[in-house]
């Protein structure tokens, strides 16, 4: 039976707890929401001792369900002031499941720094003085030298130590690199505020308990086949990774360019998935790389530099879009260097790209200046006055520099889709309880609506947000959900849940978990002081026509307010 592990940084106590019944059918994002609503004052200081850091697995973690090894990290966000869950690949979720841990709850704040080491039925806090000041790559190497090469690591770099509000929590991948990020919302700063430098996971073998293993296995096999047979999750993403979207989104006129001034980038081909595949084919890099054990899609990559040496892993569309076209930068190697530095120091690549673009608009450096962008990133690493400002994120930086076009919602930057040309995603940006978050419900490729027309976008966003929240509870990659649009494949999900947990699982019961999650998140935010007036995009999206479609975001407040309305 899985347990909670409660870590009190004030007292140094580390205790395993049985899981109460009303938490059994929440996992991942939903478990974050449930725990924060039950245990954290929504008005608490995000970087104070009353906030809690939640690290947890999904409902299907520890099983052979396809692509079910996603990890959730959550807290009240120091970037947005809202509830926040960030989702990542890597090896930690499956390792926690094998250790019998469903959630790690970190509370209080210590005067001294520690690492948390978790083994089977035992865990302890260990002084971390020798690791302070290390960024993630050096830190992981040191921890593996001390605790074994097979250890899994969840860690923060210098950004989290310093309390940068755009800092990440990094997770090691199957090769032991800290390249998978719970990136958004500044959760690295929350971990740093607790004085927790890293979590070290010992390898363990554990047998998952099933209500009906044969039923689960049959459904798992059917769903795995469906995922691998879908043209997106079975062909496009393994071939080119998420970077396949560069040319697609550019052709739609939705690729953010020069701080969202345009929806097309004249050099899109130079930063495309096709170009990435060409370069890595020549350099010995790799596409089709799984981001976590049990992934059946393989949309990640290993990116080698011009000399054929490893530079970074997981160079994704969002990083390319926000640090490439959004900054006017057309050099993939420079974007990959930004990605590596962000992973190492512990920065959200999306927030970083948006912040650099705002600096460009303010005239600090020109659009297209890759070396200047790397210089700004180095200032964050060096902790200069300018670097500390940039570390507070796009909203604070833009306001300080006097920029009026600041692409944020609830303090968090938009991702690499312009909401004027992809209006369903714009509705999600505006209404997601966690700030502008494309992974909460991206309408890209939805066949039921015209992306530049407002009709139907609220319903599309609402449906997507419920579906994504459900998959985030399962701990499954959202790309594994493409095939679930077919009711027969959706039936495999229900059978897997029945085979694992027992009882009857209907669509209403399964997707009701997503609805409950969103209601909990909205309740937390309401008690934190957020209202419907906060559910809107920056004003320039409503007034500035986006080339080449000349579209504006034209959904009014009353129309957007109909999103995520579930009744009493």
Residue 348 inside a domain? The answer is yes
| Residues spanned by the domain of 335 | 238-418
* Residue range 531-559: mean pLDDT, rounded: 96
* Residue range 325-331: mean pLDDT, rounded: 98
Q: What are the structure tokens assigned to 364, written together? A: 């600090």
Cβ count near 209 (within 10 Å): 11
Taking the C-alpha atoms of residue 270 and residue 254, their distance in angstroms, rounded to an integer, is 17
Q: Tell me what pLDDT residue 222 has.
A: 97
* Residue range 484-495: mean pLDDT, rounded: 94
Taking the C-alpha atoms of residue 458 and residue 424, their distance in angstroms, rounded to an integer, is 7
Dihedral sign for Cα atoms in the order 22, 28, 34, 36: positive
55-64, 205-214, 408-417: lowest mean pLDDT where?
Answer: 205-214
Cβ atoms 80, 434 nearer than 8 A: yes
The pTM assigned to this predicted structure is 0.97
* Residue range 495-511: mean pLDDT, rounded: 97
Residue 160 inside a domain? The answer is yes
Q: Tell me what pLDDT residue 1 has.
A: 67
pLDDT band at 100 (very low <50, low <70, confident <90, very high): very high
Residue 551 has pLDDT above 60, yes or no: yes
Q: Tell me what pLDDT residue 294 has.
A: 87
Q: Is residue 113 located within the same domain as residue 195?
A: yes
Q: Is residue 264 located within the same domain as residue 170?
A: no
* Measured CA angle at 199 (ends 193, 203), to 5 deg: 170
Cβ atoms 5, 101 nearer than 8 A: yes
Number of domains in the chain: 2
Q: Tell me what pLDDT residue 293 has.
A: 86
Q: Tell me what pLDDT residue 567 has.
A: 62
DSSP 195-218: TEEEEEE-----PPP-S-HHHHHH
Q: Is residue 163 located within the same domain as residue 290?
A: no
Q: Is residue 127 located within the same domain as residue 12?
A: yes
Q: Is residue 104 located within the same domain as residue 186?
A: yes
Taking the C-alpha atoms of residue 419 and residue 406, their distance in angstroms, rounded to an integer, is 14
Residue 468 inside a domain? The answer is no
**DSSP helix/strand/coil, 338:** helix
Q: Tell me what pLDDT residue 226 has.
A: 95
Residue 534 inside a domain? The answer is no
Residue 548 inside a domain? The answer is no
Cβ count near 319 (within 10 Å): 27
Q: Tell me what pLDDT residue 159 has.
A: 98
Taking the C-alpha atoms of residue 289 and residue 238, their distance in angstroms, rounded to an integer, is 8
Q: Is residue 22 located within the same domain as residue 81?
A: yes
**DSSP helix/strand/coil, 88:** strand
Residue 188 inside a domain? The answer is yes
| Final residue belonging to a domain, choices 418, 434, 463 | 418
Cβ count near 53 (within 10 Å): 24
Strand partners, 388: none
Nearest to 16 by CA among 25, 24, 7: 7
Q: Is residue 194 located within the same domain as residue 252?
A: no
* Residue range 370-389: mean pLDDT, rounded: 98
* Residue range 441-447: mean pLDDT, rounded: 94
Residue 213 inside a domain? The answer is no
Residue 568 has pLDDT above 80, yes or no: no
Q: Is residue 196 located within the same domain as residue 244?
A: no
Q: Tell me what pLDDT residue 207 has.
A: 80
pLDDT band at 289 (very low <50, low <70, confident <90, very high): very high
The percent of residues in the chain predicted with pLDDT above 70, rounded, is 99
* Residue range 294-302: mean pLDDT, rounded: 93
Residue 555 inside a domain? The answer is no
Taking the C-alpha atoms of residue 529 and residue 359, their distance in angstroms, rounded to an integer, is 30
Reported as a single tens digit per residue, the pLDDT across 111-163 is: 999 999 999 999 999 999 999 999 999 999 999 999 999 999 999 999 999 99
Q: Is residue 15 located within the same domain as residue 124?
A: yes
In the block, which residue shows the tokens 């020109």? 366
**Long-range contact pairs involving 380-383 (C-beta distance under 8 Å, separation at least 24):** 380/159, 380/164, 380/345, 380/347, 380/352, 381/158, 381/341, 381/345, 383/158, 383/162
Q: Is residue 185 located within the same domain as residue 253?
A: no
Q: Is residue 109 located within the same domain as residue 257?
A: no
| Final residue belonging to a domain, choices 201, 219, 250 | 201
CATH code of the domain containing 363 = 1.10.569.10
CATH code of the domain containing 131 = 3.60.9.10
Residue 94 has pLDDT above 90, yes or no: yes
Q: Is residue 195 located within the same domain as residue 342?
A: no
| Final residue belonging to a domain, choices 150, 174, 201 | 201
User: What is each CA distance from 170 to 135, 178, 278, 356, 490, in whole angstroms?
Assistant: 10, 6, 28, 22, 32
Give 506: exposed, middle or buried? Use CB within 10 Å, 0-12, 13-18, 19+.
exposed
């Amino acid at each position: 039976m899985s347990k909670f592990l409660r870590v009190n940084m004030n007292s140094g106590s580390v205790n395993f707890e049985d899981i109460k019944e009303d938490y059994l059918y929440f996992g991942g994002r939903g478990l974050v929401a449930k725990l924060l609503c039950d245990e954290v004052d929504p008005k608490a200081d995000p970087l104070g001792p009353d906030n809690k850091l939640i690290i947890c697995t999904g409902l299907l973690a520890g099983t052979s369900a396809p692509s079910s090894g996603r990890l959730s990290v959550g807290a009240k966000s120091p970037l947005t002031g809202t509830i926040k869950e960030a989702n990542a690949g890597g090896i930690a979720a499956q390792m926690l499941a094998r250790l019998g841990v469903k959630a790690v709850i970190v509370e209080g704040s210590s005067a001294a720094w520690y690492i948390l080491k978790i083994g089977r039925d035992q865990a302890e806090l260990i002084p971390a003085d020798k690791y302070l000041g290390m960024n993630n790559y050096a830190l992981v190497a040191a921890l593996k030298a001390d605790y074994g090469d097979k250890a899994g690591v969840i860690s923060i770099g210098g950004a989290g130590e310093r309390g940068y509000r755009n800092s990440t929590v990094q997770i090691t991948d199957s090769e032991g690199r800290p390249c998978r990020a719970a990136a958004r919302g500044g959760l690295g700063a929350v971990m740093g505020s607790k004085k927790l430098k890293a979590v070290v996971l010992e390898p363990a073998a554990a047998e998952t308990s099933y209500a009906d293993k044969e039923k689960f296995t049959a459904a798992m096999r059917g769903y795995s086949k469906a995922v691998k047979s879908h043209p997106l999750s079975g062909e496009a993403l393994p071939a080119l990774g998420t970077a396949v979207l560069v040319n697609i989104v550019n052709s739609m006129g939705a690729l953010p360019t020069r701080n969202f001034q345009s929806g097309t980038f004249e050099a899109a081909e130079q930063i495309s998935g096709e170009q990435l595949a060409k370069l890595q084919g020549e350099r010995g890099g790799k596409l089709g790389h799984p981001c976590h054990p049990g992934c059946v899609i393989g949309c990640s990559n290993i990116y080698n530099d011009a000399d054929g040496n490893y530079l970074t892993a997981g160079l994704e569309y969002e990083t390319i879009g926000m640090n490439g076209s959004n900054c006017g930068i057309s050099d993939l190697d420079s974007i990959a260097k930004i990605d590596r530095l962000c992973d190492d120091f512990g920065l959200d690549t999306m927030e970083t790209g948006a912040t650099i673009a705002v600096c460009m608009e303010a005239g600090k450096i020109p659009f297209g200046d890759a070396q200047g962008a790397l210089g700004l990133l180095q200032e964050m690493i060096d902790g200069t006055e300018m670097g500390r400002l940039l570390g507070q994120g796009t909203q604070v930086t833009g306001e300080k520099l006097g920029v009026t076009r600041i692409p944020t919602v609830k303090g968090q930057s938009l991702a690499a889709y312009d909401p004027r040309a992809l209006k369903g995603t714009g509705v999600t940006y505006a209404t997601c309880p966690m700030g502008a978050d494309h992974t909460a419900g991206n309408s890209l490729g939805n066949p039921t609506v015209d992306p530049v027309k407002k009709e139907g976008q609220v319903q599309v966003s609402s449906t997507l947000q419920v579906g994504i929240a459900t998959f985030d509870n399962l701990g499954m990659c959202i790309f594994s959900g493409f095939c679930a649009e077919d009711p027969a494949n959706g039936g495999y999900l229900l059978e897997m849940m029945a085979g694992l947990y027992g009882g009857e699982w209907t669509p209403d019961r399964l997707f009701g978990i997503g609805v409950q999650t969103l209601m909990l998140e909205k309740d937390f935010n309401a008690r934190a002081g957020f209202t419907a007036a906060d559910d809107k995009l920056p004003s320039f999206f409503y007034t500035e026509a986006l080339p080449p479609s000349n579209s504006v975001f034209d959904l009014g407040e009353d129309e957007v307010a109909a999103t995520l309305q579930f009744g009493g």
